């Protein structure tokens, strides 16, 4: 006894087995019109009568099987309650345990996922507003960071930059460019038993006014190893103006008294280094 289903669209009949219907929950796809339908609503019992033959008959093609079913098999509808009969067929195969594992739905029965619209008017407007705000914040941030440099390069902008600093609680000061400072004409001489005279020239090699740095003095021995190190602040150097104009020189002459311990090596050299604290 075979089970046959008939496509409601093109009336083509196909042979099915309970295992196929159980896997797809009764839904099948017609191979002729590509229509998906519930086979449990169109099931029939049919007996295919084949004449006896001494030699095995060659395998019939799908079209020949369909034609034989259509002409020789008497169709008998199943019981009126087809859904209950289909449930009996499923239950008769046993529990869905290790013998019949749960199989995910077949691919042609899955409904395509609804794609959310990617570009909505409100979202597009918000993205444009955010892009414009970021584009305006970038130059504003650059002006805030480089305000001292801009004030030194363009003195006419100082009032506007000063007004900008009032709500931001910032100040304008001379730029600090340590690479633009040059120490020239340096000398360190004895001026008594423990006295020394230090002289050097600080030169602003940039094109703008810069803030004056401080100077570190290091006294060394015969092996150029440091003995004493001291930072000379603006007060030690006698600075009256904390800035120096572009291309200007500032000469420093400083007398100092160096008291050393008897165990210390003799001072034979020195090093000068300018830096911003």
Neighbouring residues of 127: CB distance < 8 A, sequence distance ≥ 6: none
If you average pLDDT over residues 98-115, what whole number do you get?
A: 51
Domain around 19: 2-108
- Sign of the CA dihedral 216, 221, 225, 229? negative
214 pLDDT more than 80: yes
Question: What tokens appear for 225 in the block?
Answer: 């190893």
For residues 162 and 243, membership in a common domain is answered with no
> How many angstroms separate the Cα of 217 from the Cα of each of 120, 227, 274?
67, 11, 9
Q: Is there a domain that residue 126 lies in? A: no
For residues 22 and 100, membership in a common domain is answered with yes
For residues 47 and 14, membership in a common domain is answered with yes
179 pLDDT more than 80: yes
For residues 168 and 200, membership in a common domain is answered with no
pLDDT band, residue 98 (cuts 50/70/90): very low
pTM of the shown model: 0.46
Residue 80: which of 43, 120, 46 has the closest Cα?
Answer: 43
Q: Is there a domain that residue 205 lies in? A: yes
Distance of CA 186 to the CA centre of its chain: 54
For residues 160 and 211, membership in a common domain is answered with no
For residues 24 and 62, membership in a common domain is answered with yes
For residues 29 and 103, membership in a common domain is answered with yes
Other Cβ atoms within 10 Å of 208 Cβ, number: 20
Q: Is there a domain that residue 123 lies in? A: no
For residues 200 and 148, membership in a common domain is answered with no
Q: Is there a domain that residue 163 lies in? A: yes
Q: Is there a domain that residue 133 lies in? A: no
Domain count, the chain: 3
If you average pLDDT over residues 6-32, what whole number do you get?
A: 80
Q: Which of 61, 88, 108 is the last residue of a domain?
A: 108
Residue 44: which of 22, 73, 71, 9 has the closest Cα?
Answer: 73
For residues 71 and 46, membership in a common domain is answered with yes
144 pLDDT more than 70: yes
For residues 98 and 8, membership in a common domain is answered with yes
CB 69, CB 15: distance < 8 Å: yes
Q: Which of 154, 173, 192 is the last residue of a domain?
A: 173
Burial of 242 (0-12, 13-18, 19+ CB in 10 A): exposed
Q: Is there a domain that residue 130 lies in? A: no
pLDDT band, residue 124 (cuts 50/70/90): confident
186 pLDDT more than 70: yes
Q: What is the pLDDT of residue 112?
A: 52
pLDDT band, residue 47 (cuts 50/70/90): low
Q: Angle 121-145/158-168 helices, nearest 10 degrees?
A: 120
User: Which CATH number fits the domain that encloses residue 255?
Assistant: 2.70.50.60
For residues 150 and 188, membership in a common domain is answered with no
For residues 94 and 15, membership in a common domain is answered with yes
Q: Is there a domain that residue 120 lies in? A: no
């Amino acid at each position: 006894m075979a089970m046959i289903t008939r496509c409601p669209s093109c009336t083509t009949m196909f042979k099915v087995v309970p295992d196929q219907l159980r896997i797809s929950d009764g839904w099948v796809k017609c191979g002729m019109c590509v229509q998906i339908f519930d086979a449990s609503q169109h099931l029939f019992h049919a007996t295919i009568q084949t004449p006896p033959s001494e030699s095995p008959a060659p395998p019939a093609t799908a079209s020949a099987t369909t034609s034989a079913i259509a002409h020789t098999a008497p169709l008998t509808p199943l019981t009126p309650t087809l859904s209950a009969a289909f449930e009996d067929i499923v239950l008769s195969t046993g529990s869905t345990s290790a013998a019949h594992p749960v199989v995910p739905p077949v691919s042609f029965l899955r409904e395509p996922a609804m794609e959310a619209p990617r570009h909505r008017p409100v979202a597009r407007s918000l993205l444009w507003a955010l892009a414009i705000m970021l584009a305006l914040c970038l130059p504003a941030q650059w002006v805030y960071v480089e305000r001292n440099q801009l004030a030194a390069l363009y003195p006419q902008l100082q009032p506007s930059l000063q007004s900008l600093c009032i709500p931001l609680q910032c100040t304008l000061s001379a730029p600090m460019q340590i690479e633009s400072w040059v120490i020239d004409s340096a000398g360190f001489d004895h001026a008594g038993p423990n006295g020394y005279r230090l002289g050097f020239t600080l030169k602003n090699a940039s094109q703008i006014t810069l803030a004056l740095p401080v100077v570190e003095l290091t006294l060394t021995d015969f092996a150029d190893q440091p003995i004493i190190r001291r930072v000379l602040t603006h007060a030690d150097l006698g600075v009256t103006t904390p800035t120096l104009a572009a291309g200007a020189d500032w000469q420093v002459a400083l007398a100092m008294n160096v008291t050393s311990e008897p165990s210390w090596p003799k001072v034979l050299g020195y090093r000068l280094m300018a830096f911003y604290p």
